[in-house]
Structure 1
Amino acid sequence: MSDESALHAPGRLDAIVGTGLAAAPDPMFDRFARIVSRVLNVPVALVSLVEESRQVFPGACGLAEPWAGRRETPLSHSFCQHVVLTSKPLIVTDARTDERVVGNLAITDLSVVGYAGMPLTDAEGNVLGSLCAIDSQPRDWTPDELELLADLAETCSDGLRSRIATRRERAAQARERLAGAAADRGRLLLRASVALAGTSTVTDVVGTVRELVTGSLDPDYVGVSLLDPGGRVSLESGATLPARVAARWDNYSRAATTPSALAVSTGAAVLLPDRDAVAARAPDAVATFAEMGWQAGASVPLPGPHGPIGALTFVWKQPYVLDEAEQAVLAALAGYVSRAVQRAEYLYSREQVAALLQRSMLSDLPDAAPFELAARYEPAVRGEHVGGDWYDAVRLPGNHLALVVGDVAGHDMRAAARMGQLRSMLRAYLADRQEPPSVLLRRLDNAMQTLGDRTMTTAVLAYVQPHEAGYRLQWANAGHPAPLLVEADGTVSPLAGRDVLLGVQRRSSRTDHTRVLPPGATVLLYTDGLIETRTDVIDERKRQLREALRDLATAPLPELLDKILARFAAGDHEDDIAMLAIRSPLT
C-alpha cells in the first residue's frame, strides 16, 4: 500500500467515523491530553484523528487560538499524518531542520518544534491518528518519556476501540430494531390486507382496523369518516366514543377544521404531534381533544376513484411524532381501508337491491279462509342475501287454493332472476289452465327445455280442494323434499311421491298424488336449506324436524314457522330457506 493510499483506506476511515468523534472536545480524550502534558511537561498535547483532508482533535491541552476553538487543522498543518502513513511513531527533535517535516505550516502557525507522536489504532490495526506531545522548543525525547507516551497511546487506543465497539453494537441493535419494526409493519399490512378483505360492513372495517393497530401504533381512538352524498363528513366510528362526542361529529361540513375534514379537503396527511399543532391546524377539534384527554393525532385521506372518500384518523393521549416509516404504513393502511369501505358499500347496495328484488318476487299471501296460511323466507347468511328459493299461493276459481314451493340452484342474483321467470310462468299456467299439478309442472319443464334453460330446479305444486270428506290435497313433486303432514294430535308423516327435477330431461312423466286433510291438520312445504348442512346427517335433521313439528302441531302457524326457523336456521346457515304452511279448519 502506498503512503498516500493509507490516508484513504476505507477501513481506516470507517473506523474514524465509528468513533463518533469529530472536531469537538470529548471529556475522556481531553483528559488523556492533560495527562500527557503534565507527565511529559510539554505545553501542548493532542489526541489527533487524521481524516482524508484534515485532522481533528477530540482531545487537546494547551492549544492556542484559533485552533483551540476550531479543534481541527488542514493536513498542511499535520505532523500526525506521518504516523498514519508509516504506521510508526514519529519522533522529531527540531522540526525546523528535520527533512520529514520541514516546511510544514504547523511549525510557524502552531509553534510546533519538538514533536513525539504515537500511533492510535483500532482493533484491526488501522492507524487512526496519534497521541502526541508538542514542545515549542527543540526537545531531546528520552527513552522513558517515549515509553510512557507509548503506554498512554495504547490506553488511549483501548478507549477508541471500546467506543467503536459500543457504537457498532448500538448500531447493530438499532438495525435490528429497525428491521424488527419494518417486519412488524410488513406483518401489520399483510394482516390488514387479509383481515380487511373479509369485512362486509363499515362497522366491520372500523373494528378490524382497531384490532390491527393495537400493540403497534397503539392509538387511543381509531376513527373512520366518510363523505356522504351531500359532501358532508359523516362519522362512522361513533360507537366507540361517548354519546355526546359522537353526536357532535355525527355529520358536519367538510369546511370544518378537524383532522378528518382537513385530510378529506386537502387530500394529504394531517399530522398533529402535540396540542400546539392541534390548536394551530385543527382549531375546531381543540375542545374535543381537551375533553377526551387527547394530545396528538394523525388523519390520512381514504383514496377513491375521483378523490378522497373519507379519512382514517388516529389519536393518542400523549404527544406522538410519526416517523416516515409509520406515515407510509398509515398511507398503505388507508388504501386497504378505502377498498374495504367501498366494497362494503357496494355489498350493502347489492343487498338492498337483492332484498327489494326478493320481496317483489315473494308475493303477498291471498285470503285463504277458511284455512290458516303463513310463509317465511330466510336468505343464506353468505352470498348476496337473495336466492332461488320461493313460495307462492294463488286463489283459484271453485274455492281452490294453489300452493307452490320451489328451489332454483344457487343463492345469488342470477338464481333469483331465474326463479322469478319460473314463478311467473307457473303463475300464468295456474291462472289460465285448470289442469292437475303434474300437467302444469310438465308444461313448465317443457317451457324450460324449449327456452334453453337447463337450470336444475325442484318444486312442489299442490292444490287444496273441497272434498266430500272435507278437503283434499293434490300434489306433484319435481325432485323436491317431501311436504310434511302434521295432524292435530301431533302425528307427522311425509307426503311421499317424487318425480325427476325440472330442467333435466324433456317430456318427463309426472304423477299426481292425493290425500284427504284431517280437521286441524297442517301441511308444511319447505326447501332443502331447512334440513341440509355440511356437517349434519340429513336423515337425523329430518327426524329432528318431525319431532319439532309434533310439539308445535296446534301452535298458530306464524309461531310454528318462527320457531322452526329459530331452531333449524339459526346462525350460519348456508342455503336459502322458504316455507309455506297451510292448516285445515277444525270443522
Structure 2
Amino acid sequence: MVEHPGGVRVDGLPAALSDPDRLRAVAATGLMDTGPEEVFDDLASLAARITGAGRAFVTLVDADRSFWKSSIGVDLPDLADRQGPLSASYCPFVVGTADAFVVDDAARDPRTAHHPATHPMHIGAWAGQPLLDADGHVLGTLCVIDDDPRPWSDADIATLATLARSVSAEINLRQALTTARHAHRRSADLARTLQAGLLPDALRTVPGLEAAASYLPASRRDRADIEVGGDFYDLFPTHGDNWGAVMGDVCGKGVQAAQLSSMARHTLRADATDTRSPAVLLKRLHDAMVAQGADRFLTCAYAAFHLTDQGVVGTLALGGHPPALIRRTDGAVEQLGEPGTVLGVLPEPHVHLTDVPFTLAPGDLLLLYTDGAIEARPRTGTAPREAVARFEEADLARALVDTRGLDAVATVAHLDAVLEAQHGGRPSDDTALLALRAASDGPAR
C-alpha cells in the first residue's frame, strides 16, 4: 500500500488530489483539454524509445480526472477520448507521494493487482515520474507502460526522471514567458533563471579532473530584458569509467531555441551510453533533428574521454562548431578537431563528422566554447567599433596562453575578464566556456 502523507479522500484516493493550490497550478498550465503538441509528443516518444516501452503518456491530473496531453502508442484523435476518471489511473499514486511510482508486474503487485486500471488497460508494467510546477506542485506524470511484466532498470527510472524534468521545464517556461510579456521589468531575472534551467546546476565532480564553466547571455542596451538563448554545455558519466563533455549552440533565441537545446542535451545524454564515438553520437542527434523537422540548426562539440594514471585519453568530434583548444603545461596552445557539418540541416550523404583523438597530460587543459567567445566586440554606444577589432580565434588562443599554470576555475575567470574588456560587459552573442584540466596528481583511486 502506497502511503499518502496528506491522507485520503472519502473515495479512497489521496487528499493531495484536491489540494486547492495544486488545482490552481494545474489550471494555470492551460493544458487541460487541449490538443497534442509536438514538443510533448517528442519527449514522450523519447521516453518510450529509451526505455523500450510500448506506450508513453504526458498526463495532467485535476481533482476528478486524468488528461493525456501526449499519448504515444495509443491512437486517440478525439479530445473526449484522451481522459478518464482518476479511479482508473495510476497517476494518483504519484500525486499522493510526489515521487516516482514503479511497478514491474502490475497483476501481482499488491498495490495494483486489484486496481480498476490494471486489466482493462492491459498494464503489465508501469513507471511514472511527477511533473512539477515551479513551486513543487504535482501537475501530473510522465509515464511509460508495457503490456507484459518487465523489470525497470535504474537507468530507465533515471532517464524517465530527466525527461519528466524536461516536460516540467517546458510547462514552466511557457508560463514564465507569458508572465514576462506582462512584466518587462522582471523579464531579465526570469530569462536568466530559465537559461540556468537549461544548464547543469553544477558540473559533475570527476576524480582526477578539474572542471569549470561560465555562461554570459547576450544583452541589448535598449532593452531591460534578455532573450533565452540556445547555448548549452554539460559534463556527465556515460558508461563505466567514461565521461562525456558537450558544448552546443542553437541558431537563434527564444522558446524554440531553448526547446532544441534541451532536446539536444538530453538526447546526447541518453545515446552516449551505447556508443564511444562522438561522431556517431552527433550523427544520431542530427538524424533526430531531421526526423522531427526541426526548423533550426545547431553546432556542437562533443568529447568522450576517460582518465588514466597518465592523464586524460579521449576523442572529439565537431558538428559545425569552432575547434577546441588545448593548453599544454608549457603554455603552448593548439587547436583540436576536424571541421564538421552543422547539425539538423543537410540530408544524407552530405553529413561529415570526424573523430579526432587527444590526450591531456597532467596539467594540460581542454577548452570548449561557443562562437560568442570569438566574436566579442564593443556594442553600439559603448565605444567606436573601429577602435577595437573583433575578438577572433587567434585572440582567444593568445588569451589562453596567458593562463599558463592556472587551474580550470582561474583559467575561465581570466578568459571571462579578457572578453569583458572587449564587449564592456554587454556581449552581442551568448558566450559559454567549458574548461577541463587533467589534475597534476592524476586521478583518485
TM-score, normalised relative to structure 1: 0.39
Q: How does 1:190-339 map to 2 (within 5 A)?
A: none
2:204 to 366, 379, 383: 366
Alpha-carbon distance, 1:412 to partner: 2.9
Q: Is the 8 A contact 1:402 1:463 kept in 2?
A: yes
User: Structure 2 vs 1, CA of residues 352 and 475 (structure 1 numbering), >3 Å: closer, same or farther?
Assistant: same
1:418 matched to 2:260: yes
Q: Is the 8 A contact 1:436 1:512 kept in 2?
A: yes
Question: Aligned partners of 1:490, 1:517: CA distance in 2, in Å?
Answer: 13
1:555 to 403, 406, 413: 406
Question: Aligned partners of 2:314, 2:217: CA distance in 1, in Å?
Answer: 28
AA at the equivalent of 2:407: P
Question: Aligned partners of 1:411, 1:577: CA distance in 2, in Å?
Answer: 13
Aligned to 1:478: 319
% of aligned pairs identical? Answer: 33
Q: How does 1:71-86 map to 2 (within 5 A)?
A: none
Question: Aligned partners of 2:339, 2:331: CA distance in 1, in Å?
Answer: 24
User: Structure 2 vs 1, CA of residues 491 and 453 (structure 1 numbering), >3 Å: closer, same or farther?
Assistant: same
Question: Aligned partners of 1:351, 1:571: CA distance in 2, in Å?
Answer: 15
Q: Is the 8 A contact 1:384 1:411 kept in 2?
A: no
Q: Is the 8 A contact 2:248 2:370 kept in 1?
A: yes
Deviations 1:183-223 (A, max 9, x none): xxxxxxxxxxxxxxxxxxxxxxxxxxxxxxxxxxxxxxxxx
1:513 matched to 2:351: no
Q: Is the 8 A contact 2:324 2:336 kept in 1?
A: yes
1:567 to 412, 418, 435: 418
Alpha-carbon distance, 1:437 to partner: 0.5
1:532 matched to 2:375: yes
Q: Is the 8 A contact 2:203 2:235 kept in 1?
A: yes
Aligned to 2:184: 347
Q: Which has the larger radius of gyration?
A: 1
Question: Aligned partners of 1:397, 1:429: CA distance in 2, in Å?
Answer: 11
1:356 matched to 2:193: yes
AA at the equivalent of 2:359: V
Aligned to 1:491: 332
1:379 to 217, 224, 228: 217
Deviations 1:83-109 (A, max 9, x none): xxxxxxxxxxxxxxxxxxxxxxxxxxx
Alpha-carbon distance, 1:571 to partner: 2.6
Root mean square deviation, CA, Å: 2.3
1:439 matched to 2:270: no
- Secondary structure class of the residue paired with 2:183: helix
Q: Is the 8 A contact 1:411 1:576 kept in 2?
A: no
Question: Aligned partners of 2:236, 2:427: CA distance in 1, in Å?
Answer: 29
- Secondary structure class of the residue paired with 2:213: strand
- Secondary structure class of the residue paired with 1:477: strand
Q: How does 1:100-139 map to 2 (within 5 A)?
A: none
AA at the equivalent of 1:377: Y
Instruction: Detail structure 1 runs of 4+ shifted over 6 Å in the superposition.
Output: 342-345
Aligned to 2:438: 584
Question: Aligned partners of 2:367, 2:339: CA distance in 1, in Å?
Answer: 16
Aligned to 1:403: 245
Residue ranges of structure 1 left out of the alignment (5+ in a row): 1-341
1:393 matched to 2:235: yes
- Secondary structure class of the residue paired with 2:185: helix
Aligned to 1:459: 300
Question: Aligned partners of 2:267, 2:187: CA distance in 1, in Å?
Answer: 26
Q: Is the 8 A contact 2:310 2:362 kept in 1?
A: no
Deviations 1:298-319 (A, max 9, x none): xxxxxxxxxxxxxxxxxxxxxx
